[in-house]
Amino acid sequence: MALLTGTGLIVKIVLLILIGFSVISWAIIMFKLFQVHRANSESVRFMDFFWKSKRFDAIASQVDRFASSPLTVLFNEGYGELKKVVEGGGVSEGSALSTDLGGVENVSRALRRATNSEITRLEKYLTFLATTGSTSPFIGLFGTVWGIMTAFEGIGRTGSASLAVVAPGIAEALIATAIGLVAAIPAVMAYNHFQHKIRVLIKEMDNFSTEFLNIVQRNIAGK
Amino acid sequence: MNSRQSRADTGMGVSCIVSTVIHLAVFLLLVWWGKLFPVNMAIQETYYVDVVNLPVADPRAGSPVQKGNEAEIAPPPPAAPAREMSLPEKPKQGAASAKPDAKTAKSPDANADAALAERIAKIARSAEARSEEAVMERLRSKLKSAGSGRSGMPAAGGTEQGSDYSAYIQSRLKDAFRNTISYSSKNPEMIVRLFIDSGGKLTRRVSERSSGDRAFELAVMRAIDMASEKFPPPPDKKLFEGVFVFKPQGITPTRGK
């Protein structure tokens, strides 16, 4: 306790910044844990449901049950685009083949766009974790250097170099580095963890897009 | 898309609050832990035991030096007769051990005589060993008492207690000065006159001369402050006044009165 109250103004500001970093990065860690966990589990359930169902409109009516999965977003986007294409294609019956191919292209583009926006959503706030992980040790180090500088100034003023004079100032200064590391270590660990989880989810989305396009093409070609 | 975004943000707000609460909890836990097991940062009490000042370390105890001298003189007298006894025994022991050998070699029927002689020799030997041991013991004790009592204080006869008190103060100042010393000029020097009242309290300190090194002066003052916490009362409830010359190499007392 005395270690915190005895520090100078600059070191106090550094400590406040670091504690703020720590609070926000833990908030992000918890939020992301929750988000990624739900996205994963609901994706698994959605894929089960998707392969069991026979019709897209049946899936579309049930899709709200899996709202947290990025795959449902892909499905909604793809299904909406497909509906528009089919409705538009129904009017111009003359050039069926070219419309069909164009329709598949449209659906593919819609899926790619939805995938991108989902990746953005999943990776939101993650940069803050990376920033915390890489900068907070330096901020802490800055606080320590500053604290030691003032400690040495004090030593110069009193003209005494005994350990009793030097030690408290340095101990106070080192607190800043300690808190910087405390903020940085979980942030780096969580960042790597989420990077991996999100890469898995992106792969899943890619696979789902391919499957969806295959089904669409098969059905339109078979029509 | 909009609804999704807003839901994500509310989740973020909730986890922000949870994170703040967790940080507060950890902080309070640390504070509580620190209260439960406080970090002991107090400077440990130093107990001064130095050979030179041991007899007058506590001047209130009278004059231990005198007493020590008398107590020491007592042991030597008994040592003298013991040594005298042991010395003549030495050749006797050699003769006794040589005699039985010669006898056994000369005649085998003189066995009983030889055994008797040998027994006498054994007794003599053990007696000699015992007396020798006693002499050694006395010597050792004499050495020991001489070492603790008089060595290091050749001049102190117990009458110059004021000078011993000054030496004691000098020693305390030296210990404190070792912790505080600092200087910025080449050969700083400072002469300080200290006044200590009958209760052992530093009443006044006067800087008589200084080489003008500010850092050194501060160090000297701090050393005096530190040392004065441990000053004992001067002997015979007299006021003490002493002049000390502080140099980076050490402290030399100059008799004030």
User: Number of C-alpha atoms within 13 angstroms, CB side, residue B159?
Assistant: 2
**Residue A88 CB-half CA count within 13 A:** 12
Which of B21-35, B92-106, B161-175 is the least confident region? B92-106
Task: Give the whole-number percent of chain B exceeding pLDDT 70.
Answer: 58
Residue B155 pLDDT > 60: no
Report the gap between the CA of B20 and the closest CA in chain A (Å). Answer: 6
SS3 content of chain A, % helix, strand, coil (to 5): 90, 0, 10
A8 has pLDDT over 50: yes
**Does residue A66 sit within a domain?**
no
By CB neighbour count within 10 A (0-12 exposed, 13-18 middle, 19+ buried), where does B126 fall?
exposed
Lowest mean pLDDT among A41-55, B57-71, B199-213: B57-71
**Residue from B197, B199, B209, B200 nearest B244 by CA:** B209
Tokens 């499905």 correspond to: A75
Question: For position B5, what pLDDT does the model report?
Answer: 44
* pLDDT average, residue stretch A218-222: 70
Q: Which of B5, B23, B182 is opposite residue A161, by nearest beta carbon?
A: B182
pLDDT at A199: 93
**pLDDT confidence of B54, banded at 50, 70, 90?**
low
Which of A:171-210 have CB within 8 Å of B? none
Best residue of A18, A26, A119 to probe chain B, by most B CBs closer than 10 Å: A26
Whole-angstrom Cα distance, residue A158 to residue A139? 29
B12 or B6, greater pLDDT: B12
CB of B19 within 8 Å of any CB in chain A? yes
The per-residue b/e assignment along A162-172, b for 16 or more CB within 10 angstroms, e otherwise, is: beebbebbebb
Beta bridge partners of B206: B193
Q: Do B4 and A125 touch (CB under 8 A)?
A: no
The model's pLDDT over A89-119, given as tens digits with 9 standing for 90+, comes to: 654 444 444 455 667 888 888 899 999 999 9
Q: Given an 8 Å threshold on Cβ–Cβ distance, is A160 in contact with B222?
A: yes
How much of chain B, in percent, has pLDDT values that exceed 90?
4
B87 touches chain A (CB under 8 A): no
* Structural domains of chain A, count: 1
- pLDDT recorded at residue B144: 61
Cβ-defined contact of A162 to B20 (cutoff 8 Å): no
What is the Cα–Cα distance from A96 to A79, expressed in whole angstroms?
A: 19
pLDDT at A76: 87
Give the closest residue to A80 by CA, choosing from A62, A60, A66, A98. A60
CB A173 within 8 A of CB A41: no
Query: Does A65 reside within a domain?
Result: no
What value does the mean pLDDT of chain B take? Answer: 71
Give the Å distances, CA to CA, from B84 to B68, B94, B135.
Answer: 27, 17, 10
CA distance B229 to B9: 64
User: Does residue A86 register a pLDDT over 60?
Assistant: yes
How would CATH label the architecture of B161-255? Answer: 2-Layer Sandwich (3.30)
Banded pLDDT at B2 (limits 50, 70, 90): very low
- Identify the residue with better confidence: B83 or B219: B219
Residue A55: domain span? 2-60+71-222
The DSSP call for residue A63 is G
Q: What is the DSSP string of B17-66?
A: HHHHHHHHHHHHHHHHHHHHS----PPPPP----TTTGGGSSGGG--HHH
Structure tokens at B39: 């970090």
- ipTM score of the complex? 0.72
Q: Answer yes or no: do A159 and B31 touch at CB < 8 A.
A: no
Handedness of CA A81, A83, A88, A94 (dihedral sign): positive
